[in-house]
Amino acid sequence: MISNHLPVLQVVLPLLAAPLCVLLKRSSLLWAFTLLVSILSAVIAWSLLQQTDAGIISYAIGGWAAPWGIEYRVDKLNAYVLLIVTGIGSLVMLGGRKSIEQEIDSKNLSLFYTAYLLCFAGLLGITITGDAFNVFVFLEISSLSSYALISLGRDRRALTAAYQYLVMGTIGATFILIGIGMMYMITGTLNMHDLAQRLPEAGSSRTMLTAFAFMFVGVSLKLALFPLHLWLPNAYAYAPSIVSAFLAGTATKVAVYVLLRFIFTIFGIEYAFTELPLSAILMLLAIAAILLATMSAIYESNMKRLFAYSSVAQLGYMVLGISFLSVTGLTSSLLHLFNHALMKAALFMALACVMYQQGGVMMDNLKGLGRRMPWTFAAIVIGGLSLVGVPLTVGFISKWYLLLAAIEAGQFVLVAVVLAGSLLALIYVWKLVEQGYFHSGNESITRQEAPLSMLIPTWLLVLANIYFGIDTSLTISVAQTTAEQLLGVTQ
Amino acid sequence: MSAVDLMLLSIAIPFVGAVLILSFGSVRIAGGHVREWLSVITSIALLLTVLPLLEKFMQGASIDYRMVEPIPGIWLHLSIEPLGMMFACIASLLWVVNTIYSIGYMRSNNEKNQTRFYVCFAIAIGSTLGLAFSANLLTLFIFYELLSISTYPLVAHKGNELAKKGARTYLAILMGSSIGFLLLAIIWTWSLAGTLDFRAGGILSEHIGEPVIGILLFLFIYGIGKAALMPLHKWLPAAMVAPTPVSALLHAVAVVKAGVFTVLKVIIYIFGPATLADSLAADWIMYLAGFSIVLASTIALFQDNLKRRLAYSTISQLSYVTIAAILVAPFSIMAAALHIAVHAFGKITLFFAAGSIYTATHKTEISQLKGIGRQMPWTMGAFAIGALSMIGIPPAAGFLSKWYLLMGTFQTQEWFVFGVIIISTLLNAAYFLPILYTAFIEKADDPIAQGTMQEAPLPIVIALTITAGLTLLLFFLPDIPLQLINGLPGVKS
């Protein structure tokens, strides 16, 4: 009975839970409640992924059949993204309590949790829905709540960062809305499944091109695709630590999902890659993202900004994988979607630990950290090695597939770019290692490790980085079947 | 215990040892720290595992184990072949000796962060064992990278600017080449051949022709930065900032031998001798290696710092292995494999001696060594044996590999290589014999020091005596390595 309604529960549960937070006053209750909702969502996502083995799940909201009502449509791709979002959300929340109590004013606590759950619900809604307009609605829910979350940061610059993000995010959302409106103009439907059938029938027109352009730019803004990434470093840097960890692991991943959905399902490969030079566009932007963002990261002394720039570069890898338009390439992007979520969630959680104990995440705060906070710092090192793509970490698996895709495509320039990106990443990771372990300071070093409640979730994420770098049966099989589905390759 | 269990145990022991040292290492007990005892116990346990494994292997046991499949089609796969068995024996045998040496050295020089030192050392040895037993390129690559990362803290050990700078060069070259070239070569091989297994006769032969052979060969040879083929050699002199036990076991044996070992494996089992025999690219690698041998020896001539001179000597000696491997004649492959063993024993002795001199007198430059042969007869006696082995004079083991290498050049009629070896032997003599002259014949500047015994602490003297003895022993009893080497594909024919 319930299992039939899982698709809608996935969104409704956090959405209804969010306002309830206002009623709860005690910090521990708020946290426990939010954690419970996150974990339940993760359970739902997991069982949805299991259900998709039997085929695509279609759920009509309120019993109103599509195209009149809104349809939730779950296939392997979005079930996979749902699992990433809820899984990361649960682990981040599990370790978040102390950090949130320290960084958020106690009078704002219930609002914080409300906004957090709204953002969570929004991201899940974007992912699960089969209705193009519904995507916009949930996008706004998640964006507005994330502006609020970022502005709650202790640093006063959080306000400007949130404002910057608000301006950019609103432009992006508006563009998406314009794009959706034009698609509606051409086809008279908002249901993605119908759009996918009718758009190709309508043939290419100037309206369609405009719709595509608006959609693409709008989604790229949310995805922080170079050069539309400028909002991201500040937003991640000045947001409360837990928010950074949550957004870094989820928000941009969902944006990548939306990009995939619009390009592959709605507009279709034929239109996007044959009639438009999308492959070349994605490739160029990805190269720029990988090289330039990684170089910015090298010169960054605020660790959160450093990893934020690295996120921009890592998104470049995902986009690069898409641009190959091959099963291997797309597999690498989907793998990296999952893997990068693990890396960045682990790293930002570790930074939350650093913030909690040291009160800052500048390079100077790292001096001798290998002694003061050995477990936290080891987590940063392993997360960093995973970013570089050292074997036995998830980063290696992503990189392997991406390089394989580039070699199969005969694109040796891109091979060089990916390798150069890895080596540049090694530079910024090693800057941290030197600071943490080989800083020759004389001050007496006392141990001040983060509380276990934060360390354990951080290390769960770190171990996941290693585990999924060795046992890849889940990730690779899902990524590969999804890639085949998207490309329409029959197995 | 089955042979497979022994193999897994031999890789596990150093890692378990590392965890134990990390957990309890700083505890003091009578006569030192727990970490020293744990290191000794771990290294002996490893040797006692590898020796029965060797016995089982010689009896013809087939030892093969698949762990997991991280990438569909490619397993983390371990299996033992002769070359890996030999390498594992060398590393585990010398680790015991080196641990004894380390205790003497680290205590006498009051080094800091000793727990980290012993932990990283154990991890490095574990990685070396894993690398030796890898059955495919992916598994090998994993341990290769682990070896680079685990030795970085050992190079940066002192933590001052000089050490950090050296360590940066070390890591940049080793990981830069391995990620930039080796990984690419491995993935390319996978996409061409559909397998990464080490197989007799190679896996690439039916899939590629020129010029891809040449490009891949260059990517492999220069991707394996640990083989220190010029111009990717700078990391080795840079690594000399490390404490001497590190230079001795890791940068004369484990790390650099992992490099040439990988080169040899790639040539024998990935390309296959037949593929390379008439490849133009192989000729190019031969010339580059020959150039590297002569140039590195020439640079060594002008180094006054003892450890740096030894480092350049290592660079030159490593290219012996590369050049012998690339000739792909039966005798030259034998020479390449044997040289891995021979050079290991000789060079570790030389480094032990250098560290012994530093510990006893704090001298690091060759010009300061006047008369030191009388003050430190054991140390300099061992040094002399090591030097003879490097030059290739009997009864030191260095003669053996040089002999087979020369035989190999006759087999292939490669007179270029013949010439290189002759010139290099002269250069070896030119940079080692003056050290012996300074040490034994010249009189010390300081008349008080003249004639008084001033040996290094006992553990150090014991260690270097053992390795010097092994260098001589190997000349008289080369049966075990030769028996193993005769099992290599490409040698029997």
The predicted structure's pLDDT at residue B32: 75
Give just the sign of the alpha carbon dihedral A113, A115, A121, A123.
negative
User: Mind listing the pLDDT tens digit for each residue in B23-63?
Assistant: 887 777 777 778 888 888 899 999 999 999 988 888 887 88
Residue A403 placed within a domain? yes
User: What would the two tokens of residue B271 be?
Assistant: 């390309």
A–B CB contacts, 8 A cutoff, strictly below = 73
Per-residue pLDDT of chain A (491 residues; tens, 9 = 90+): 677 888 888 999 999 999 898 888 888 889 999 999 999 999 999 999 988 888 888 888 888 887 788 889 898 888 999 999 999 999 999 988 888 888 888 888 889 999 999 999 999 999 999 899 999 999 999 999 999 999 998 888 889 999 999 999 999 999 999 999 999 988 888 888 888 888 888 877 888 899 999 999 999 999 988 888 889 998 999 999 999 999 998 999 999 999 999 988 888 888 888 888 889 999 999 999 999 999 999 998 899 999 999 999 999 999 999 999 899 999 999 999 999 999 999 999 999 999 888 888 888 888 888 888 889 999 999 999 999 999 899 999 999 999 999 999 988 899 999 999 999 999 999 988 888 887 755 555 677 888 888 899 999 999 999 999 998 888 898 899 889 888 887 54
Write out the residues of chain B at the interface with chain A, using a CB-CB cutoff of 8 A. Answer: 68-72, 76, 138, 141-142, 145-146, 149, 153, 156, 159-161, 163-164, 167-168, 171-172, 175-176, 179-180, 183-184, 187-188, 190-191
Lowest mean pLDDT among A296-300, B201-205, B212-216: B201-205
Q: With an 8 Å Cβ cutoff, are B191 and A476 in contact?
A: no
Residue B490 placed within a domain? no
Whether omega for the bond prior to residue A19 falls within 30 degrees of 0, making it cis, is no
What total number of domains does chain B contain? 1
What is the extent of the structural domain holding A392? 277-491
Tell me the C-alpha distance between A361 and A352, whole Å. 9
What total number of domains does chain A contain? 1
A489 lies within 8 A of chain B by CB:
no
Q: What average pLDDT score do residues B2-11 get?
A: 89
Q: Residue B493 pLDDT > 70, yes or no? A: no
Q: With an 8 Å Cβ cutoff, are A434 and B76 in contact?
A: no
Tell me the C-alpha distance between A444 and A367, whole Å. 12
The predicted structure's pLDDT at residue B275: 83
HEC string of B226-295 equals HHCCCCCCCHHHHHHHCCHHHHHHHHHHHHHHHHHHHHHHHHHHHHCHHHHHCCHHHHHHHHHHHHHHHH
The predicted structure's pLDDT at residue A491: 47
Q: What average pLDDT score do residues B438-451 get?
A: 71
Q: What average pLDDT score do residues B407-430 get?
A: 88
The predicted structure's pLDDT at residue A244: 92
Kindly list the residues from chain B whose CB atom is less than 8 angstroms away from the CB atom of residue A419: 179-180, 183-184
Nearest C-alpha in A relative to B192:
A408
Residue A59 placed within a domain? no
A378 lies within 8 A of chain B by CB:
no
Q: Residue B113 pLDDT > 70, yes or no? A: yes
A392 lies within 8 A of chain B by CB:
yes
Residue A112 placed within a domain? no
pTM for the predicted model, two decimal places: 0.91
The predicted structure's pLDDT at residue A145: 94
- Closest by Cβ to A404, choosing from B68, B171, B187: B187
ipTM of model = 0.89
Shortest CA gap B13–chain A (Å)? 19
Q: With an 8 Å Cβ cutoff, are B179 and A471 in contact?
A: no
Q: With an 8 Å Cβ cutoff, are A423 and B180 in contact?
A: yes
What is the extent of the structural domain holding B327? 3-485
Q: With an 8 Å Cβ cutoff, are B168 and A430 in contact?
A: yes
Tell me the C-alpha distance between B366 and B266, whole Å. 38
The predicted structure's pLDDT at residue B400: 87
What are φ and ψ of residue B365, in 5° steps?
-100, 145
What are φ and ψ of residue B319, in 5° steps?
-70, -20
Q: With an 8 Å Cβ cutoff, are A419 and B183 in contact?
A: yes
Residue A460 placed within a domain? yes
Q: Which residue has the higher pLDDT, A444 or B173?
A: B173
HEC string of A382-439 equals HHHHHHHCCCCCHHHHHHHHHHHHHHHCCCHHHHHHHHHHHHHHHHHHHHHHHHHHCC
A43 lies within 8 A of chain B by CB:
no
Interface test with B, best of A335, A367, A400, A429 (most B CBs within 10 A): A400
Q: With an 8 Å Cβ cutoff, are A440 and B160 in contact?
A: yes
Residue A414 placed within a domain? yes
Residues 398-417 of A with CB under 8 A from B: 399-400, 403-404, 407-408, 415
Kindly list the residues from chain B whose CB atom is less than 8 angstroms away from the CB atom of residue A408: 191
Q: Which residue has the tokens 């990278």?
A: B145
The predicted structure's pLDDT at residue A22: 87
A276 lies within 8 A of chain B by CB:
no
Q: Which residue has the higher pLDDT, A291 or B440?
A: A291
User: What would the two tokens of residue A25 be?
Assistant: 């006053």
Nearest C-alpha in B relative to A368:
B159
The predicted structure's pLDDT at residue A364: 83
**Burial tier of B2 (Cβ tally within 10 Å: 0-12, 13-18, 19+):** exposed
Q: How crowded is residue B333: how many other Cβ atoms within 10 Å of its Cβ?
A: 27
> How does the average pLDDT of chain B come out, rounded?
87
Kindly list the residues from chain B whose CB atom is less than 8 angstroms away from the CB atom of residue A298: none
Residue B268 placed within a domain? yes
Residue B491 placed within a domain? no
